[in-house]
Amino acid sequence: MLRVCLALLTLIALPAKAEVVVAGLSQNRVSITATFVGSEILIFGAVKRDAPPPEGDPLRVVVVVEGPSGPITVRRKAKRYGIWVNTDAVVVDQAPSFYAVATSASLRESISQIDDLRHDITIPQAIRLVGEATETVNPRDFADAVVRIRTEAGLYNLQEGAVELVEDTLFNTRIALPANLTEGEYRTRIYLTRGGYVASQYETVINVQKVGLERWVFNLAHEQPLVYGLLSLFIAIAAGWGASTAFRMLLRS
């Protein structure tokens, strides 16, 4: 009983947060169909305050959208005897399939290095190198290669100044999701920072899932590969036979 009373007294003594982020999404579910060419998510919100904002320390907003992570093999090529060949291969243990960072100011002004390390905000912080990767001469080179390749594919992007902040209270930004999305939960994080340090944060999830025929084909290929292979073979034979029959009829006419 004494411990409970002490805990309650401690909670009462703690000061309330001066600023709290309240946010929402234009949609929290993305459906991948045969005609899916990408999507755009509007992320918006407001800052709830219990006291006037501090002066001389501007508010910054950082938005992070992170797709499902998984291992990826990165190979290094070198020229040997006049031809390019793979010389080294490293498995990067965790690399997000999609990663977008949007800020209301420059990245350097928005987040300190300490809080970047603490909250894993920037793109390099999302890449995990352990085990075999850490034993190579320059392990970070392979992580940088993942970032470069997926940035060129439109899967990783940094948008400095893309978050619109109105009177230090309302904010919004748009995150473009490309057509080549991976299914899964896309972790969405919003940070309020002052002086580069996180003052408040909010987190939610965007569900990305195949639907309709695409979902059926995906499940069939992964759950019943034999049936999927036979069905694919049958469709290929039927398509070839149909094309040849149509071509013969066209020649006869």
User: What is the DSSP code (8-state) at residue 124?
Assistant: G
Q: Kindly state the tokens that stand for 136.
A: 């190579």
pLDDT at 200: 92
pLDDT at 188: 95
Predicted confidence pLDDT, tens digits, the chain (253 residues): 444 443 434 333 334 457 899 999 998 888 887 777 888 999 999 999 887 777 778 999 999 999 999 888 877 666 666 665 556 677 788 889 999 999 999 999 999 999 999 999 999 888 877 655 445 557 677 788 888 989 998 999 999 999 999 988 999 999 999 988 888 999 999 999 999 999 999 999 999 887 655 555 555 565 667 665 766 777 777 777 777 777 777 777 6
For residues 240 and 244, give the distance between their C-alpha atoms in angstroms, rounded to a whole number.
6
Half-sphere exposure of 18 (CA within 13 A, CB side): 10
pLDDT at 122: 93
For residues 139 and 95, give the distance between their C-alpha atoms in angstroms, rounded to a whole number.
14
CA-nearest of 58, 57, 54 to 18 is 54
pLDDT at 10: 38
3-state secondary structure of 231: helix
pLDDT at 9: 40
Helices (H), the chain: 2-13, 107-110, 113-119, 139-152, 212-223, 225-252
The amino acid sitting at 113 is Q
pLDDT at 211: 64
pLDDT at 15: 42
Contact between 202 and 33 (Cβ < 8 Å): no
For residues 63 and 42, give the distance between their C-alpha atoms in angstroms, rounded to a whole number.
11
Q: Which residue has the tokens 């904010």?
A: 171
Q: Which residue has the tokens 């001469």?
A: 137
Strand ranges, E, within 178-228: 184-194, 197-210
For residues 226 and 221, give the distance between their C-alpha atoms in angstroms, rounded to a whole number.
8
pLDDT at 228: 59
3-state secondary structure of 186: strand
Q: Which residue has the tokens 């890449």?
A: 127
CA-nearest of 58, 70, 65 to 95 is 70
